[in-house]
Structure formats: structure tokens, C-alpha cells
Amino acid sequence: MLRSSMKIHEYQARQILSDNGITVPQAEVVRSPDEAGEAFKRFAAPMCVVKAQVYAGGRGKAGFVKLVKSAEEAREAAKFMLTHRMVSVQTGPEGVPVSVLIVAPGVEIAKEYYVGMTVDRGRNTATMIASAEGGVEIEEVARRSPEKVIKEPVHPMLGLQGYQARELAYKLGFRDKMAGEAAKLLANLAKVFFKTDASLVEINPLVVTKDGKLLAIDAKINFDDNALFRHNDIVAMEDETQEKPLDVRAKKANLNYIALDGTIGCLVNGAGLAMATMDIIKLYGAEPANFLDVGGSVTAEGAIEAFRIILADPKVKGILVNIFGGIAKCDLIAEALVKAGQDVGFKVPVVVRLEGTNAGRAREILAAAKSQLPTLQPAADLTDAAKKVTAAVKAA
């Protein structure tokens, strides 16, 4: 089943790093302008940073990371962030809401680094990534100066070995006592990656301060959704306000859903079938409105919620149902689709292609339901289904 990575906020990621021996600077989580002002006063620092907590990058360029020099400036910065949606390259034009911030005292930085760990699909292994050029997107560093990005494969059972951590520290330019501290931090970062079943752990920037401290200034952790059943504490950190409402509904219904920009909704069982369905819709001159995979066994409840999610998108002008009945027999699927139509009400053309076990009986069920569901159209095969749904949408 297709899965995405679960995300958490920076302040939560910083706490996980801190709990695992990685030093992070002081910070307070705030949810109102007054709390931001009070936090500034408590730190009694000449300068603080106010940072929006969102599941997207590009905060600085969007104006959602601000340096402030007084409690009043902290309040004003917080007021702006909490009353505006953050729009960046990563959010799209609709932006994301901001409901939580952190306030942290300023740090005098001598040098910035990037360190992270993710899964290298090319090598089929977890890989530590590091660069002496931190504070900017690592993708930009890799594009501009690929020789400055260090990659170290990590054994899935043994983890990052001591000699690897020390070698990485030296390659980053650390020496003497700082090299030992950096190696220890890298080892702890690898432990966090494996311990939490992460798909990405990132510190950008990791900094050396002017007084010689090694600090994780910013942190990002994404988790493998397939392993979340082992981490109820991490699941509890998820902020649903950062996700699109239909994505949240689909996740709760155990459906794989990705919204796209077209007009034809796709309801399928299987990721490969979904890709083929979207391809053939494009072949016949239309665009898919979504990728929605209901999984191997389609139930009436799952089909109903799937239709509700698809029809909640105002762009959808037609739906193509493409189901291969293997584990779930076609006649049972047809009955589920009819019940879904009765419960939801099909106000757009719905073209159904069913193949597999008991497909003949399934077509009889759909034909008998035609009077109740006039927009429901059976199709002989996938090509026929694609032609019918695209024609119906163009005629509407």
C-alpha cells in the first residue's frame, strides 16, 4: 500500500534530538502574541528569533522567521504569523495555517554545517549525509557543488560505526575535542533515525557558536508511516491542521489519496492499477483529479467514504471506477458500489470497469441498478471505460 511520510513540527523534532543526547538551544513554544512577548522578556537576551511551526520549508523567505530585539517586536511578529497563512514554494498558493510558534534567544554563530540521514533508494540502504555548507537547502548545495556533500552508507543492524562517525567529523573540518563532540552527535543522530523508524532526520544548520558550543539550531524529522504502529507517542504529535482535510479523511479511512489538478476522479484497488488508470485518462485527452487506492479488498463502507472524498473536490466532473476483483469478488464490489451510490448520490457520470472473479454477475448487478443510478455506466474494458468517462465529462 502506498504510504507517505508522517511529519512533525520543529519544536517536537528538537525535543526528540535533546532526549537522545543532542544539544539544542533554549526555546519556548508559544501560541499567542502575548506569550511571545513574555517569552522574550524571560530570555532577557538582546535578540530573539520567532519561528512559525509548519510542515513546510521556505519560512525565512516567506517572512515567517523573524529576528526581534524587544518584547513588542516579538508580539508583532507573532501576531503577523498567527493571523496569516504561510505561502512558500513548498506550500503552493493556498499556503498553510500557523497556530504555534517558537521563540528562542539569538545565537552567535561561527560556522554552519548540514547533517542528516535518510534512505538512499539507489543503494538500498540508510545513508548519513553531511556538508560543511549548512544553513541552505542541501539540494542547492548538491546541485551547485556536489563534491561538498558527503554520503556515508550505514549498516541497518550495526548502525553508524565509531570509525565512520570520526571520519565524517574530520571530513567536515572538525579537529581535536570538537571532532569527538561532532562524532558523538553524528552517532546519536543515527540512533534517532533507527530508533524512531524515521525516513528523514535532518539538522540544518548544525552550528559551532563563537564560544565553541556545538548546537542543533533547526531540526526536521519525517517518519515511515508503515512503522507508526510501533510509535503511539509519535503518532500523538501529528498536527492535522497542517494537512489537507481530504488527506486527513482518507488517512483515517485507510485509503491512499493524492489530489491532482484534473476533472476525472479515479477509484481503483492497487497502486499499479491507479497509475494505468491515470495514464489512459490522459491518453484520451482528459486529466485525473486524484489518485485514490482503496486497497485489495473493497468494502461498502470503504467505497462510500472513497466516493465522498472524491466528490468533495469541486473540480471532479466524472469518476472512473477501475477494480480488479481478486481477493474481493467482483459481485461483492458491485454491490458495494451500488450501496455507495444510494448513500452518496452520484451527481456526475460514474463509469465502472470490473474484471476478475464473478465479473459477469457484477455486470448484472450494475445493469439492474441503472434505474436507481442513471449516471452509472458499466464499461466492457479499460479502454471503453476511459472513452466513456472522458466523453461524458466533455459533454457535461
Residues annotated catalytic, as ranges: 114, 202
Number of helices (H), then strands (E), belonging to the chain: the values are: 14, 17
CA–CA–CA angle 193, 196, 197 (5° rounding) = 75
- Which element (helix H / strand E) includes 156? none
Q: Report the distance separating Cα 182 and Cα 265, nearest Å.
A: 50
What is the residue type of 166? R
Residues in the chain: 396
Residue 207 contacts residue 107 (beta carbons within 8 Å)? yes
Other beta carbons within 10 angstroms of residue 206's beta carbon come to 28
Q: Report the distance separating Cα 354 and Cα 368, nearest Å.
A: 15
CA–CA–CA angle 159, 164, 170 (5° rounding) = 145
122: Cβ contacts below 8 Å, ≥ 6 apart: none
Residue 285 sits at φ, ψ, to 5 deg, of 90, 15
Q: Is 215 left (phi over 0), alpha (psi -120 to 50) or beta?
A: beta
| Alpha-helix residue ranges (DSSP H) falling in the chain | 10-19, 33-43, 59-62, 71-82, 138-144, 162-171, 176-195, 232-235, 245-252, 271-283, 300-311, 330-344, 359-368, 382-395
